[in-house]
Amino acid sequence: MWQCLTTPHLKNFFVIIWSESPVPSPVPPLPISPLVPPLISFLHLFLSPSSLLAQPEVIQYLLTGVFANISSAEVSCVGLVEDIPIIALHPANWSIHFHWPWVSQAAAEGEGEKLMSQYKIGLRNMIRFVHNMAQQTKQHYPLVVQSRAGCVLYPNTTRQSFLKVGWGGRDLIAFEVDKQHWEVQQASQVAELVSESLNRQKSVTVLLEHLLSTWICHKNFLTLKKYGREILEKQELPVATVFARTPSPAQLLLVCHVTGFYPRPISVAWLRDGQEVPPGPALNTSSILPNADFTYQLRSVLAVTPRDGHSYACRVRHCSLGTRSLLIPWENGSPASTISIIIAVLLLVATASAGGFWWWKRRKGNEAAWDTQEFII
């Protein structure tokens, strides 16, 4: 399925993405051996937090075509490296806006300059093709066609390119790059006709394989990272705070709020007596949400019983911390310590009040003596 999302990083442009993960789905997992959990715990001792958080890098170009009628088409497009916008196509005149000066430098290098001079021809051909398919399959206007093309670069340096097309909000066809072949993604007349028509155009499939595997997945990726290293590899440290809420006398909610971090991948866990709290009904971690300053935030809430005798701490791991971790303990105050604090505060207030009253009385006495002296003189 397709979704339309707006993010603060793209201002007035819409981003069209799948509700599924941008990374291709892995092979279904095999049954887990009983030896696996101890082995993972053992590896955690030797692997740094930053290596455990290593995530695939994704570059993608998202295109949306809105066809109001047989003679109308509005096309827009955005390009992103991870969550950072790099280019946008204006739907009115098809002009390209570069979000950063270094993106225009990268676009002018190698095949990028040639593609910049010919992309409008490809858009016109795409519009003509959609109208033709709509007429042959007797589709009703308005129509919405979307495509998503790009590349995933995994931490082990392997790459996987992709190109998917949606029609009316549903997956329609997908291009198998290695086979240079279009595969249907739904059982419909439109999907069959579109895939058959595109598979007959061998020159187009060869060109797509070159653009996806060689240009986007290799040359374009490397060139963008060369010119935009400062932006694409920036890191911001997380700031974490721990506080508590009491929804009822029998329950205490420990909240760990982490904000200001970049890039997005992060690990936040609660520790009970030094041991990580496993997932369960008592643990609730929010989605990672964007901040207005291009950083991210999340919160993790752990439900506990008040005065249960355990110690709790929130642990944060992020690539900006390197091999270190943030550890923020929850200071669980007992009733005795709370009463002591209240008594100390009351004594402090009483002492300050007595001192202030004595100072005020002395000052008033001095003023009276001064006034009398002036009167006598």
The pLDDT of 346-366, averaged and rounded, is 54
**Final residue in a domain of this structure, among 232, 267, 300:** 232
Are residue 151 and residue 253 in the same domain, yes or no?
Answer: no
Domain membership flag for residue 350: no
- 80-121: pLDDT as tens digits: 999 999 999 999 899 999 999 999 999 888 777 778 788 999
Q: Is the pLDDT of residue 279 over 90?
A: yes
Percentage of residues in the chain having pLDDT higher than 70? 74
Q: Is the pLDDT of residue 354 over 60?
A: no
Q: Give the residue with greater pLDDT, 77 vs 26.
A: 77
- 281-298: pLDDT as tens digits: 999 999 999 999 989 999
Characterize 103-123 residue by residue with b for buried, 16 or more Cβ atoms within 10 angstroms of its Cβ, and e for exposed.
bbbbbeeeebeeeeeeeeeeb
- Can you list the alpha helix ranges (DSSP code H) found in the chain? 36-44, 49-52, 101-107, 111-136, 189-200, 202-209, 221-227, 229-232, 335-376
**Final residue in a domain of this structure, among 196, 217, 232:** 232
Q: Is the pLDDT of residue 164 over 50?
A: yes
At residue 281, φ and ψ (nearest 5 deg) are -60, -25
Q: Give the residue with greater pLDDT, 48 vs 84.
A: 84
363 pLDDT band (50/70/90 cuts)? low
The pLDDT of 339-360, averaged and rounded, is 50
Average predicted confidence (pLDDT) for the chain: 80
CATH of the domain at 11: 3.30.500.10
Domain membership flag for residue 354: no
**Final residue in a domain of this structure, among 232, 255, 289:** 232
**Domain membership of residue 14 as a residue range:** 2-22+46-232
Q: Give the residue with greater pLDDT, 335 vs 216.
A: 216
Domain membership flag for residue 339: no
- 4-38: pLDDT as tens digits: 443 444 433 333 333 333 444 443 444 444 444 44
Task: Report pLDDT for 310.
Answer: 93
Task: Report pLDDT for 82.
Answer: 92
Task: Report pLDDT for 362.
Answer: 58
**Residues with Cβ within 8 Å of residue 172, at least 6 apart in sequence:** 165, 166, 184, 185, 186, 188, 190, 191, 194
Q: Give the separation between CA 340 and CA 113, rounded to whole angstroms.
A: 73
Are residue 220 and residue 283 in the same domain, yes or no?
Answer: no
- Number of structural domains (the chain) is 2
- 226-239: pLDDT as tens digits: 999 999 999 999 99
Task: Report pLDDT for 338.
Answer: 37
Q: Is the pLDDT of residue 273 over 80?
A: yes
Contact present, 45 and 116 (Cβ < 8 Å): no
Task: Report pLDDT for 28.
Answer: 44
CATH of the domain at 251: 2.60.40.10
Domain membership flag for residue 36: no
Domain membership flag for residue 360: no
Q: Is the pLDDT of residue 375 over 60?
A: no
Are residue 202 and residue 243 in the same domain, yes or no?
Answer: no
Q: Give the residue with greater pLDDT, 71 vs 55.
A: 71
Task: Report pLDDT for 13.
Answer: 34
* Pairing state between β 296-304 and 283-285: antiparallel
By mean pLDDT, which of 65-69, 170-174, 369-373 is the weakest?
369-373
By mean pLDDT, which of 115-124, 341-350, 359-368 is the weakest?
341-350
Task: Report pLDDT for 348.
Answer: 53
Domain membership flag for residue 340: no
Q: Is the pLDDT of residue 76 over 60?
A: yes
353: Cα within 13 Å, side-chain hemisphere: 6
